[in-house]
Amino acid sequence: MKDKTLYNNKQEEALRSEDVLTGKLTFHSLQPPDLSKCTKDEIKEYFENTYDLTESLFTSLVDTSCFYKCPDKLRLPLIFYYGHTAAVFMNKLVLADLIKPEERINVEFETVFETGVDEMSWDDIENFRMGGEYKWPTVKQVHDYRMQVRQLILKVIERTPLLLPIGWDSPWWAFFMGFEHERIHLETSSVLIRQMPIHMVNMPDAWTYGPFNFESSPPENLFISVEKTKVILGKSYNYPSYGWDNEYGRVEETVLPFEATTFKITNEEYLKFVEAGGYTNSCIDSWTEEGQHWLKSRHANHPIFWICNNGCKSGCGSTLGDYSHCTPDDGSNNFSTKENIHKRPDFPYRLRLMFNVIDMPYNWPVEVNYHEAKAYCNWKGKGFRLITEAEHHALRDLPVFENFQPLTNDTSCDIIYNKCNQINHNLQFGSSTPVNYYPANKKGFHDVFGNVWEWCEDNFNGFPGGQTHYLYHDFSNPCYDGRHNMIMGGSWASTGDEASRFARYMFRRHFFQHCGFRVARSPTSSENNLEKSDPKVRLVQNSVYILGYGVSENPIALDQKLYEIHRYQTENTQYLYETDRTETLCYEDEYSGIYNMVTEYRHYLASMFSPIDRAFLIQRNIQNARNHWGEDDSRMMNGTHVEKCVIKQFTWIPNELHQADVVIYTMTDRLENPKGWLKRTREIVRPSGLLIIFSGGQFHQNNLTHFIGEDFELMKSDTLHAIEFCRSDIYPKSTATVTCWKKIA
């Protein structure tokens, strides 16, 4: 028997619900309010339900030591996710002017819990906050913080005038951004807890798994033909529900005829791939090049939630690094039920649920990452693939949009507002259900929404006509990089906006989620047909520069001999600067200037707009940076102490930036959404400190006063002749406007 204290730092008393909860224990998820007619009471009820759900999930940990474990080596300890959502609430409400900076409850917590990690690869090194040396707050401290945040938010809701409808430009949008952000983490935290060692979790009261006693296998998973269909992707800004920035905009597509499986691929179907050697060298050609690298690095032998007895690596991090779910004692089923659980002695794997290991429900959908799903399709043969986002819309039988207006003036055409829908989402169950448990839609497909998400062939990208929101500029934008793929339809754990018909979400291709897939094919996608198929797959064409990785071409996972590939420019304009020639596209002093200023200041923090390795080379005294003509002639002034300068790459101004005497913006014109950056300056400039803004002309005195005039007093404005600017579309003039502002004490 495994020593269950092996991975605990110390023995602690069992966790009590009151150690985690600041409200009530519940797993009943409410529907989102209709933003055209909601009341303050409905908003408060939805907020408290959101908050309660997160805390209820964390009551499943057996003791407080479990909060400091890393169930995934590429994620932070669970204590971060317990505190993160409350900190984001505070930061967004400050930015929206709903609370004043002096009303902050705990700036340290709102810094520590502000930003998680978004690993670039499956073999990233562990973040310093993942190890045992980083001292996190206690569970009691975070519990008390969450309680204070809850009370303040209720107070702010009550005191803020409610003007309907609540839309994109309303300050109330910040509340719903906080609600829906927390609900996303409810789902992603459930995946992490599902990866915890089984002895570190207990099933909470009122948690209900899906049915186990479905007596027979589902019917054969036949392909159903879908006729040529016109679909409209995107959400209207006047639709009365909250949406994330990536949902807005408009794309019209004509989806050509294709076929897709009736059901999502089941555990039983996927077993055939595993037993055929799917995770071994005998099937290595079924994996994409990127997938092969992941497979080798991960040492995967089967889907992550499948359990065998062979001691497979589980991918946990820090003190759990050597832990394996795949041991005989972890397979002892401690879950009792009055139902007759089906027995499959011929199925050599069991299934890890949230809090238990059970005999494999062969008629549930398999849960895998993109690489595994893609390998299965390739193993099936030529022409088999995943669906595309446009095809997912073609599978639906929902009311359609005419002239981009919903058929109704309210929310009734959205599935999350339909109380009678037969969909496994919104925590109706605490697990998957058999793929044929709910009836098919009118087109014959099961689980188009809910049960598990499904992977798509498309890269994640915004729609034309969409825009970022100043309150969360870096929510979707960083993921428009060709390294994230679309997932559609939601899962049993999806609530709120993520359970909506408009939901568009994404993960890196190696990421684990409650996510499966169905197989698709086009009538002409065979090697014997000379005509290419066009499944309307949308890929990002830009090769994005990533610090530490450089530039690499985004892979194309479809056979270009069989399929037409559509590649679109990333909707993240910042990435247009980040190419292998980025260093030639910047104003000269962005390299040497930041170091030359160190002669005048004791400490200097440089936030690079583009992740330029050359700035870091200079910091190591390797002086080979280029000027704007591409010549290697940049030099430091005598007496420059480069060690005083710290360089960071930011997609946002985090709370870790403490108040400074002087803040200089030299890249304001390049920001896609500068409003949020400008509003954040009031918290990073000391009273009586200076803010200097350099602009190629877009930001002059009157324009800036609108954003920062309440907190800063204009000292001077001038027009200077500049040496030269890098991109004619951003800096069309040879002059620059420079304004100097003083922070009002």
Percent of the chain exceeding pLDDT 70 equals 76
Question: Which residues make beta-bridge pairs with 714?
Answer: 741
Asked if 450 contacts 424 with a C-beta cutoff of 8 angstroms, the reply is yes
- Exposed (0-12), middle (13-18) or buried (19+): which is 523, by Cβ within 10 Å? middle
Phi-psi region of 525 (alpha: psi -120 to 50; beta: other; left: phi over 0): beta
**Residue ranges, CATH 3.90.1580, the chain:** 223-261+370-576
User: What was the pLDDT predicted at 216?
Assistant: 62
pLDDT at residue 172 in the model? 98
- Give pLDDT, residue 85: 97
Per-residue pLDDT at 398 exceeds 80: no
* Residues forming beta bridges with residue 567, ordered by sequence position: 539
- The pLDDT tens digits of the residues spanning 616-664 come to 555 555 444 444 434 444 444 455 565 666 656 556 676 667 778 888 8
The answer to whether 84 and 185 have CB atoms below 8 angstroms apart is yes
Report pLDDT digits (tens) over 121-141: 444 444 445 455 678 999 999
- For residue 625, what pLDDT is reported? 43
3-state helix/strand/coil string of 602-622: CCEEEEECCCCHHHHHHHCCC
Phi, psi of 251, deg, nearest 5 = -140, 125
DSSP-derived letter for residue 126 is P
pLDDT tens digits, residue range 365-395? 999 999 999 999 999 999 999 999 999 999 9
Three-state secondary-structure class, residue 26: coil
In the beta sheet, which residues pair with residue 721? 735
Per the prediction, the chain carries an average pLDDT of: 82
Stated as kind and residue range, the H or E segment containing 559 is none
Cα angle: 171, vertex 51, 148; to 5 degrees:
80
Question: Look-up: residue for tokens 């004043």?
Answer: 100
Give mean pLDDT, residues 488-505.
97
Sole residue written with tokens 């499948």: 306
- Closest residue by Cα to residue 522 from 502, 536, 539, 504: 536
Comma-separated ranges of CATH 1.20.120 domains in the chain: 17-200
Angle at 376 between CA 370 and CA 382, to 5 degrees: 115
CA quadruple 595, 601, 603, 608: dihedral sign:
negative
Residue among 226, 196, 325, 673 at smallest CA distance from 469: 673
The predicted pLDDT at position 115 comes to 80
Note the pTM of the prediction, 2 decimals.
Answer: 0.85
* Number of other residues whose CB lies within 10 A of the CB of residue 419: 6
Q: Which CATH architecture has domain 223-261+370-576?
A: Alpha-Beta Complex (3.90)
DSSP state of 365: B
Q: Which two tokens stand for residue 339?
A: 């139902």
CA-nearest of 615, 612, 616 to 577 is 612
pLDDT, position 619:
52
Helices (H), 561-600: 592-596
CB atoms within 10 A of CB 617: 14
CATH topology for 17-200 is: Four Helix Bundle (Hemerythrin (Met), subunit A) (1.20.120)
**Strands of the 484-488 sheet, one edge to the other:** 505-508, 484-488, 453-459, 515-516
Displacement of CA 210 from its chain's centroid (Å): 26
Terminal-to-terminal C-alpha distance of the chain: 65
Confidence of residue 95 (pLDDT cuts 50, 70, 90): very high
- For the cut 70, the answer to whether the pLDDT of residue 303 exceeds it is yes
Cα distance between residue 638 and residue 488, in whole Å: 57
Task: Give the β-pairing of 566-568 and 538-540.
Answer: parallel
DSSP state of 387: B
Answer yes or no: are the C-beta atoms of 9 and 132 closer than 8 Å: yes
The string of pLDDT tens digits covering residues 8-51 is 334 466 889 899 999 999 999 999 999 999 999 999 999 999 99
Rounded Cα distance between 348 and 351, Å, is 10
pLDDT for position 665: 79
DSSP H or E run through 231? strand 229-233
Q: Token pair of 462, please?
A: 């915004």
**Cα-atom radius of gyration of the chain, to the nearest Å?**
27
Which is it for strands 604-608 and 645-649: parallel, antiparallel or unpaired? parallel
CATH 3.40.605.10 fits 582-743, yes or no: no
User: Alpha carbon of 539 to those of 258, 388, 461, 520, 557: distances in Å?
Assistant: 19, 11, 8, 18, 10
Residues of the chain with CATH 3.40.50.150: 582-743
Of 579, 637, 655, 589, give the one whose Cα is nearest residue 613.
Answer: 579
Strands 484-488 and 505-508: antiparallel
